[in-house]
Amino acid sequence: MARIVVGVGGGIAAYKVPGLVREFTEAGHHVDVIPTESALNFVGAATWEALSHNPVRTSVFEAVDAVNHVRLGQEADLVVVAPATADLLARVAAGRADDLLTATILTTTSPVYMAPAMHTEMWLNPATQANVSTLRSRGIAVPDPAVGRLTGKDSGPGRLEEIPVIAQEALALLDSATPHAGEAPLAGVRALVSAGGTREPLDPVRFLGNRSTGRQGVAVAEALRDAGAEVELVAANIEVPAPDGVEVTSVTTAAELEQAMRASASEVHIVVMAAAVADFRPKEYVGSKIKKNPEDDSAPVIELVRNPDILKGLVEDRRSRAKDRRVPEQGGQEPSASEDADVLPRLIVGFAAETGDENASVLEYGRAKLQRKGADLLVVNEVSETRGFGTPNNTVAVLAADGKDAGEISGSKRYVSEFIVDAIVKRLAR
Res 290 pLDDT > 80: yes
Q: State pLDDT tens for residues 199-224.
A: 999 999 999 988 899 999 999 999 99
How is residue 253 annotated by DSSP?
Answer: S
Q: Which segment, 10-24, 136-150, 350-364, is predicted with the most confidence on average?
A: 10-24
Q: Which segment, 13-22, 182-191, 294-303, is predicted with the most confidence on average?
A: 13-22
- Which residues face 190 on adjacent strands? 230
**Annotated active-site residue in 41, 125, 131, 210:** 210
Residue 153: other Cβ atoms inside 10 A? 6
| DSSP code string of 292-304 | --TT--PPPP--E
Separation between Cα atoms, residue 31 and residue 79, nearest integer Å: 10
Contact 212, 194 (CB under 8 A): no
Cα 225 → chain centroid: 13
Q: What angle do helix axes 310-326 and 254-265 make, rounded to 10 degrees?
A: 30
Q: What value does the mean pLDDT take over residues 112-117?
A: 96
Q: What is the pLDDT of residue 59?
A: 81
- 210 flagged as catalytic: yes
Separation between Cα atoms, residue 92 and residue 120, nearest integer Å: 20
How is residue 41 annotated by DSSP?
Answer: G
Q: What is the pLDDT of residue 237?
A: 95
At a CB cut-off of 8 Å and minimum separation 6, what does 280 contact? 200, 208, 304, 305, 306, 307
Task: Find the angle CA(343)-CA(347)-CA(351) to the nearest 5 degrees.
Answer: 145
**Over pLDDT 90: what percentage of the chain?**
59
Q: What is the pLDDT of residue 259?
A: 97
Q: What value does the mean pLDDT take over residues 17-36?
A: 93
Res 409 pLDDT > 90: no
CA-closest candidate to residue 167, choices 158, 179, 175, 159: 175
Res 412 pLDDT > 90: no
Confidence of residue 300 (pLDDT cuts 50, 70, 90): confident
Annotated binding site for CTP: 279, 289, 308-311, 351, 369, 373
At a CB cut-off of 8 Å and minimum separation 6, what does 263 contact? none
Q: What is the pLDDT of residue 321?
A: 86
Separation between Cα atoms, residue 38 and residue 42, nearest integer Å: 8
Q: State pLDDT tens for residues 220-264.
A: 999 999 899 999 999 999 988 888 889 999 999 999 999 999 999
Separation between Cα atoms, residue 253 and residue 200, nearest integer Å: 6
Comparing 66 with 312, the larger pLDDT belongs to 312
Please, is 353 exposed, middle or buried when counting C-beta atoms within 10 Å of its C-beta (0-12, 13-18, 19+)? Answer: buried
Q: What value does the mean pLDDT take over residues 310-317?
A: 95
- Which residues face 8 on adjacent strands? 35
Annotated binding site: 279, 289, 308-311, 351, 369, 373
Q: Which segment, 74-88, 135-149, 333-347, 393-407, is predicted with the most confidence on average?
A: 74-88
